[in-house]
Amino acid sequence: MGNYKNYYFLGIGGIGMSAIARYFHHAGYAVSGYDRTPSALTAALEKEGIAIHYDDNPAAVPAAVEETFVIYTPAVPEDLGEFRYIREKGYALCKRSRALGEIARGQECLAVSGTHGKTTTSTLLAHILTQAEGGCNAFLGGISKNYDTNLLLSTRKVLVAEADEFDRSFLQLFPEIAVVTATDADHLDIYNDRSHLLEAFGAFAAQVSRALVVKAGVELPTEGVKARVWRYAYDTPCDFYASDIVPIDGGRFDFTLNTPMGRFPHWSVGIPGWVNVENAVAASAVALLHGTGPDAVRAAVATFSGVKRRFDIHLNTPIIAYVDDYAHHPNEIKAAITSIRNIFPGRKLCGIFQPHLYTRTRDFADEFAEALSQLDALIMLPIYPARELPIPGVCSEMILNKVTLADKQLVAKEDLMAHLAARKLDCLITFGAGDIDRFIEPIEQYLRTLC
């Protein structure tokens, strides 16, 4: 990306964008950017010394065209005034995915891909390498609770990356070792259908040079794959899997990790949920194939604190429990509800769900309704549009009308807190990838008054 003094970010508050912004800021460059709305993440960036503004203002773009490199996210609309100005003036620019690909060059890249599970798995892998090997560089799709950041830096030339399938971003990465956690249909606004999504995953798999770790049962084209393919699973016998799974405190599990290198008893993840046993199997497989010793991997896995907004238990008392989860795909919601029922048996689950994207709502309305019907009660919020314009006839009611629960209701965001105050709550869950995260703190504060 050349020798530039300034790095300017369009959409700097995105989780992937902010990690790259932090990387260049830490390297000593002048970093600034635009985002549509303030958030906890933009506040953290500003506190670190990165200048951010929230109005579409071309005058805020660094004036020195030849000294400025612009990085943008596809979520930024093409007609944004700043974007038009940057193109007209001839600034050097690229997508976030290309920037990450350039940073990864010259390092041993360990990448985690998949339509769900990749953020927790990649963050756990980065934690293992940090604890067991003295560090790594990591660009994460969530905020690690162990380190309170989405960027880890090290002098070691090992890089952990979350390989995002959105907009075919992961095709900018050429990993030595990679994971594929799932290839469920998603991002059909980009791919049109699942066959094109699978084609992209196949192309990514063909770019892996040494080892490809794929969840057992996951469909993945392997034509052109050069790397050795390994399979992993929760408890289905294959190359890497868990057995002798025993519940322990707080919804966690003790298990034996079965690998081609041997059987390792008393593995346990520091966070609850059976799905995190599966994530730990995948992350441990990559670490072991990378060459990390099993005892060091086991010790690190046990101290993992998780990722903010991934199965994040904010409150757990006999009177009220509150869990927040980023789940925004039907299969993610199903897995989360199953895990929550295991941890909180017998409790009445009330979910608040904010659909993310009109296209995803349109494409998966039936699947969302089936997943959400596993709850005892449902509060539905209006769709969070993100990068999309409204689609006629597509709304939250498309899902809500198909949900089989008797206790279900559509609530406007401005009415949510009042609605919760009028309800008798036992175990509350917030789901979604939009701005539902703005409610986490007020919800927790309110629920604590009930304890």
Q: Which of 99, 122, 74 is nearest to 4 (CA)?
A: 99
Indicate whether 326 and 262 sit together in one domain. no
| Residue 193 belongs to some domain of the structure | yes
Identify the CATH number of the domain in which residue 78 sits. 3.40.50.720
What φ, ψ does residue 427 adopt, rounded to 5°?
-135, 115
Structure tokens at 157: 């030339």
Structure tokens at 303: 């101290």
Domain boundary among the residues 270, 302, 334 is at 302
Report CA-CA distances (Å) from 136 to 15, 100, 217, 398. 19, 15, 31, 44
Domain boundary among the residues 280, 302, 324 is at 302
Domain boundary among the residues 240, 268, 302 is at 302
Identify the CATH number of the domain in which residue 277 sits. 3.40.1190.10
Indicate whether 54 and 131 sit together in one domain. no
Indicate whether 349 and 239 sit together in one domain. no
pTM (2 decimals)?
0.92
Indicate whether 244 and 320 sit together in one domain. no
Identify the CATH number of the domain in which residue 335 sits. 3.90.190.20
Indicate whether 168 and 117 sit together in one domain. yes
| Residue 59 belongs to some domain of the structure | yes
Identity (one letter) of the amino acid at 79? D
pLDDT number for residue 324: 97
Indicate whether 135 and 267 sit together in one domain. yes
Cα-Cα-Cα-Cα dihedral sign, residues 126, 119, 37, 412: negative
What φ, ψ does residue 253 adopt, rounded to 5°?
-135, 145
What DSSP state is assigned to residue 405? -
Q: Cα(196)–Cα(198) distance, rounded to whole angstroms?
A: 5
Indicate whether 252 and 387 sit together in one domain. no
* Start-to-end C-alpha separation, the chain: 54
| Residue 129 belongs to some domain of the structure | yes
Indicate whether 13 and 39 sit together in one domain. yes
Q: Which of 324, 330, 328 is nearest to 311 (CA)?
A: 324
Q: Is 230 helix (H, G, I), strand (E, B) or coil?
A: strand
Q: Cα(76)–Cα(70) distance, rounded to whole angstroms?
A: 13
**Domain span at residue 192?**
105-302
| Residue 441 belongs to some domain of the structure | yes
Structure tokens at 149: 């950041």
Residues of the chain with pLDDT under 50: none
Indicate whether 55 and 115 sit together in one domain. no
Q: Which of 180, 168, 129, 169 is nearest to 152 (CA)?
A: 129
Indicate whether 81 and 202 sit together in one domain. no
Indicate whether 194 and 109 sit together in one domain. yes
| Residue 307 belongs to some domain of the structure | no
Q: Using an 8 Å Cβ cutoff, are 353 and 381 in contact?
A: yes
Q: Using an 8 Å Cβ cutoff, are 330 and 368 in contact?
A: yes
Structure tokens at 242: 């868990």
| Residue 154 belongs to some domain of the structure | yes
Number of domains within the chain: 3
| Residue 1 belongs to some domain of the structure | no
pLDDT number for residue 191: 87
Q: What is the pLDDT of residues 99-133, one digit of tens each?
A: 999 999 999 999 999 998 999 999 999 999 999 99
Q: Is 266 helix (H, G, I), strand (E, B) or coil?
A: strand
Indicate whether 254 and 145 sit together in one domain. yes
